[in-house]
């Protein structure tokens, strides 16, 4: 807990938003006698909220401009979510030379470059620990504790909603659609879960982590993104049988040409991988550095108090700097301005799992083998799994490591053969 001499001036904070995360932040800040929450911006003054007793009617306001323009407020905390009005308000606050703490991964991943440049011009900081993985202290760990490392890879389970759904599909052998509805009923998924299940939320987060780890900016529209909508219980069970676990993975790695291979997609990962044991709404991040080797951080990726923990930690960090020097520490100011060269997904190298529905007749397996061989795709294992009532066979295969472009060329050729009814799924295998 931060404490202060009673003769010292308190640091004044303005909060944009008093939803689930905002309420948690206010509870956390109520423990600190050096911090005064001067104003809290809300949409509805009459809404019932479980706020600390220090927050009363005179603290709440619906005029959010009053917060970002208040000359007495030192730190503006943005927990509104979404792009607008958060972007406009944060921009105004920075121009008014206020430090920013935000939990907004959409904002940082999409408009971080312009906001960080503006903050550097105004000599203020933007802290954003809570924008990735809720209560897991991954951002400041990369910036501070592991700053001596040269990073080669970051991979993680970065979205709790999808991890909860995949965990339920594994444990209950139920469809994606049913597990999604259950997740919505229990509050693990939004009524509109598109950003989560499409992989977009995880893409924001891996873009943020990659920009820190590799000291280069990432354009969010260049992050290859694929969600879990096509995943079935069959895929999950086959992964288990083969010694893997199916997860939605965000991956960023640097190749020999200094390009960044950055993507989000379902993947088979080995059960020995620490991320394979991250279940339910938890998140996990695996980092590989030249000094530390591999390090994995696991914890709650969302929720009122875990996220508030990260927001309050950022506020404490700023308060300590303001109280002692009044200036932001250079280590916490974004210094890089170059954009990363992104490796196209077609050039990525992976193993692949394919599930193919074919006619049940002699020569089909040989035909598939010929097509894969012609496209320089080496098959590691192939299994035919019985005959369906419609006289079709299910063939599953694993490839050796190969460039994505070659696999896609083979798939396109396979689709043209009359004996193949459907490519039921193609899932990358991360070794």
Contact 2, 316 (CB under 8 A): yes
- Token representation of residue 261: 């291979």
Which residues are CB-neighbours of 348 under 8 A, at least 6 positions away?
261, 263, 403, 404
Which residues are CB-neighbours of 49 under 8 A, at least 6 positions away?
18, 23, 42
Contact 27, 50 (CB under 8 A): no
- Token representation of residue 76: 């503006």
Distances (CA, A) of 271 to 54, 129, 282: 48, 29, 17
Residue of 205, 247, 254, 406 marked active site: 205
- Token representation of residue 206: 């891996």
Helices (H) and strands (E) in the chain, counts: 13, 17
Please choose, from the candidates 271, 232, 277, 245, the residue with its C-alpha nearest in 3D space to the C-alpha of residue 426: 232
Backbone angles phi, psi at 4, to 5 degrees: -145, 150
- Any catalytic annotation for residue 270? no
From the CB of residue 195, how many other CB atoms can be counted at a distance below 10 Å?
18
Distance, CA of 176 to CA of 165 (rounded, Å): 7
Backbone angles phi, psi at 279, to 5 degrees: -120, 170
SS3 for 423?
Answer: strand
| Residue 48 DSSP code | -
Contact 220, 341 (CB under 8 A): no
Count CA atoms closer than 13 A to 421's CA, side-chain side.
13
Distance, CA of 312 to CA of 319 (rounded, Å): 10
Report the DSSP beta bridge partners of residue 295.
287
Catalytically annotated residues: 205
């Amino acid at each position: 807990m931060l404490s202060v001499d009673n003769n010292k001036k308190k640091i004044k904070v303005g909060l944009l938003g008093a939803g689930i995360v905002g309420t948690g932040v206010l509870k956390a800040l109520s423990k600190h006698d050096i911090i005064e929450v001067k104003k809290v911006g809300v949409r509805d003054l009459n809404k019932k909220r479980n706020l600390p007793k220090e927050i009363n009617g005179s603290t709440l306001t619906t005029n959010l401009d009053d917060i970002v323009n208040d000359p007495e407020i030192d730190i503006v905390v943005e927990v509104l979510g979404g792009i607008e009005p958060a972007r406009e308000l944060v921009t105004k606050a920075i121009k008014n030379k206020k430090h920013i703490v935000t939990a907004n991964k959409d904002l940082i991943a999409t408009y971080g470059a312009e906001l960080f440049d503006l903050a550097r011009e105004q000599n203020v900081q933007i802290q954003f620990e809570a924008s990735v993985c809720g209560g897991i202290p991954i951002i400041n760990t990369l910036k501070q504790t592991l700053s001596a490392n040269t990073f080669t890879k970051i991979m993680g389970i970065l979205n709790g909603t999808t991890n909860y759904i995949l965990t339920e599909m594994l444990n209950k052998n139920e469809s994606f659609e049913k597990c999604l509805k259950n997740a919505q009923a229990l509050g693990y998924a939004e009524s509109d879960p598109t950003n989560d299940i499409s992989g977009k939320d995880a893409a924001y987060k891996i873009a943020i982590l990659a920009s820190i780890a590799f000291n280069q900016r990432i354009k969010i529209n260049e992050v290859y993104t694929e969600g879990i909508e096509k995943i079935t219980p069959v895929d999950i069970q086959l992964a288990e049988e083969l010694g893997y676990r199916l997860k939605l993975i965000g991956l960023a790695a640097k190749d020999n040409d200094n390009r960044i291979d950055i993507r989000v997609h379902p993947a088979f990962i080995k059960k020995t991988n620490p991320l394979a044991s991250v279940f339910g709404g938890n998140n996990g991040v695996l980092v590989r550095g030249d000094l530390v080797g591999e390090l994995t951080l696991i914890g709650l990726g969302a929720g009122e108090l875990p996220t508030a923990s990260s927001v309050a930690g950022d506020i404490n960090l700023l308060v300590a700097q303001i109280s002692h020097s009044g200036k932001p520490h250079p280590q916490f100011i974004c210094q890089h301005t170059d954009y990363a060269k992104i490796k196209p997904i077609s050039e990525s190298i992976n193993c692949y799992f394919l599930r193919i529905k074919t006619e049940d007749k002699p020569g089909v397996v040989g035909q598939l083998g010929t097509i894969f061989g012609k496209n320089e795709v080496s098959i590691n294992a192939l299994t035919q799994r019985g005959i369906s009532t419609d006289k079709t066979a299910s063939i599953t295969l694993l490839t050796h490591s190969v460039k994505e472009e070659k696999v896609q060329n083979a798939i396109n050729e396979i689709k043209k053969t009359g004996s193949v009814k459907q490519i039921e799924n193609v899932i990358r295998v991360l070794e």
